[in-house]
């Protein structure tokens, strides 16, 4: 399964805004996301700070994640 993880809080410099992770479960996706972080730290397991949605191949066409954070 592919999971789309997105931050629910404000994003600062040198931080990930979202990730697309292939994993066998939501928990594994969150664990993998925590393996490589920026200044946000290991927040990816916290459902209050990060949403995690499964993505299915038969869904509507469109971008899964567009993370644009410029100064």
pLDDT tens-digit map of 30-65: 999 999 999 999 999 999 999 999 998 887 888 877
- Answer whether 59's CB lies under 8 Å from 33's CB: no
Question: How do beta strands 2-7 and 50-55 pair?
Answer: antiparallel
Instruction: Give the pLDDT of residue 58.
Output: 84
The DSSP symbol for 6 reads E
pLDDT tens-digit map of 57-66: 887 888 877 7
Give just the sign of the alpha carbon dihedral 43, 14, 69, 55: negative
| First vs last C-alpha separation in the chain | 34
Kindly tell me if the per-residue pLDDT of 71 is higher than 60.
no
- Name every residue whose Cβ is closer than 8 Å to that of residue 15 and which is 6 or more positions away in sequence: 7, 38, 39, 40, 69
**Domain residue ranges of the chain, discontinuous segments joined by +:** 2-55
């Amino acid at each position: 399964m592919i999971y789309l993880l997105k931050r629910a809080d404000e994003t600062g410099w040198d931080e990930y805004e979202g990730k697309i992770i292939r994993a066998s479960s939501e928990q594994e996706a969150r664990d993998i996301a925590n393996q490589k972080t920026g200044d946000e730290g290991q927040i990816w397991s916290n459902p209050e700070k990060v949403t995690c949605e499964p993505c299915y191949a038969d869904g509507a066409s469109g971008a899964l994640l567009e993370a644009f954070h410029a100064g």
